């Protein structure tokens, strides 16, 4: 049994708050039926990094937020039930320090009511994901995906969120797909530096051409590997660029920080343009 692919428009990890803050900007439907990827959840609570966590640069934002989250227990007790009640299709982004942690997270989330799927954060820029399982090589990501897939229901999607590194993405996408990833999300923030030299990740429109190239490369080499475009999606044109390159869905991230209504507008537009294969049409 294959898991359905989420989409066509999703909220990217780390850009939707806890969901509650996004809801007022999602029109009459609110979060109902919307695929929301949560910010990355870790087993234990993390308070996040020191400020400034986000700095504006031409074409994007450099960020090192440090994965602040209340930890799995608190998330399961408070944030997840709220999202489920709001009607969101919740994909929980997970991050762990070890393969065992990823597996633990997957096992616990598999039992939690209302979890539509998982997104495995295996591509956080170095240092930003300080304390996370180090994913240097494609086989590292693949082994994490395999560990997660073993613990999580096979009829629900597991997405692998990878760094948009064009020299690695083809092998990374293929190995994650072989390891059981339903689709590969391309991409995460690009390793970058703050103006003061601190390590961070670049996201926003500046990343779009890079992620687009990665989507196209994966499509060319492995047309059977479903991809989800993420990076600089802010309107129909930027979403269609990914879809035309072969992506099956898109995630909206940084654009929400500029205009929190972006997801609702894009959802409404795509509904009427019927450009995308709906989730039900995907294999």
Which residues are at the interface with another protein (CB under 8 A)? 14-18, 20-25, 28, 30, 39, 47-54, 56, 60-61, 63, 65, 68, 86, 204-205, 254, 256-261
Cα angle 156-269-59, degrees, rounded to a multiple of 5: 85
Q: Closest separation between CB of residue 282 and another protein, Å?
A: 28
Least Cα distance to 71 among 126, 108, 113 occurs for 108
- Smallest distance, Å, CB 41 to another protein? 13
Which of residues 148 and 250 has its CB atom nearest to another protein in the complex? 250
User: Shortest Cβ distance from residue 40 to another protein (Å)?
Assistant: 11
* Cis amide bond preceding 261, omega within 30: no
Q: Report yes or no: 256 and 208 within 8 Å, Cβ to Cβ.
A: no
Please list the residues that pair with 121 across neighbouring strands: 161
Nearer to another protein, 146 or 207 (CB): 207
- Please name which of 6, 158, 51, 170 lies closest in space to residue 94, comparing C-alpha atoms: 158
Distance between CA atoms of residues 137 and 134, nearest Å: 9
**Nearer Cβ to another protein, position 169 or 263?**
263
Closest contact distance (angstroms) between CB of 5 and another protein is 25
218 within 8 A of 165, measured Cβ to Cβ: no
Cβ-based nearer residue to another protein, 138 or 200? 200
Whether 145 contacts 179, CB under 8 Å: yes
For the bound state, the minimum distance from the C-beta of residue 218 to another protein, rounded and expressed in Å, comes to: 27
17/81 with CB nearer another protein? 17
**Of residues 86 and 249, the one with the C-beta less far from another protein:** 86
Q: Are 153 and 145 a contacting pair, CB within 8 Å?
A: no
Query: From the CB of 30, what's the least distance to another protein, in Å?
Result: 7
Complex with another protein: residue 52 or 279, whichever CB lies closer = 52
Q: Which two tokens stand for residue 195?
A: 């103006």
Rounded to the nearest whole angstrom, what is the least distance from the CB of residue 119 to another protein in the complex?
A: 17
**Nearer residue to another protein within complex by CB, 45 or 166:** 45
Q: How far is CA 138 from CA 169, 174, 185, 194, 273, in A?
A: 8, 9, 14, 27, 36
The kind and range of the H/E element at 225 are: none
Tell the smallest beta-carbon distance from residue 45 to another protein (Å). 9
* CB contact burial 199-222 (16+ within 10 A = b; e otherwise): ebbbbbbbbbebbbebbbbbbeeb
């Amino acid at each position: 049994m294959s898991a359905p692919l989420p989409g066509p428009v999703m909220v990217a990890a780390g850009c939707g708050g806890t969901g509650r803050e996004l809801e007022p900007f999602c029109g009459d439907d609110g979060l109902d039926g919307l695929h929301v990827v949560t910010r990355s959840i870790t087993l234990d609570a993390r308070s996040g990094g020191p400020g400034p966590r986000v700095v504006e640069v031409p074409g994007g934002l450099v960020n090192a937020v440090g994965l602040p989250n209340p930890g799995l227990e608190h998330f399961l007790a408070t944030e997840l039930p709220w999202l489920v009640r709001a009607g969101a299709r919740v994909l929980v982004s997970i991050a762990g320090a070890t393969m065992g942690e990823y597996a633990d997270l997957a096992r616990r989330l598999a039992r939690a009511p209302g979890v539509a799927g998982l997104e495995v954060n295996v591509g956080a820029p170095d240092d930003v994901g300080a304390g996370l399982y180090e994913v240097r090589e494609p086989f590292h990501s693949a082994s994490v995906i395999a560990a997660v897939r073993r613990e999580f229901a096979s009829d629900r999607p597991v997405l692998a969120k990878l760094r948009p590194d064009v020299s690695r993405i083809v092998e990374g996408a293929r190995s994650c797909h072989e390891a059981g990833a339903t689709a590969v999300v391309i991409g995460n923030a690009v390793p970058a530096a703050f103006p003061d030299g601190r390590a961070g990740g670049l996201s926003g429109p500046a990343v779009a051409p890079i992620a687009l190239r990665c989507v196209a490369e994966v499509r060319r080499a492995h047309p059977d590997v479903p991809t989800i475009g993420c990076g600089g999606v802010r309107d129909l044109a930027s979403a269609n660029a990914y879809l035309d390159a072969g992506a099956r869905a898109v995630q909206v991230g940084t654009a929400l920080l500029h205009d929190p209504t972006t997801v609702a507008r894009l959802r409404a537009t795509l509904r009427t343009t019927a450009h995308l294969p709906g989730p039900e049409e995907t294999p």
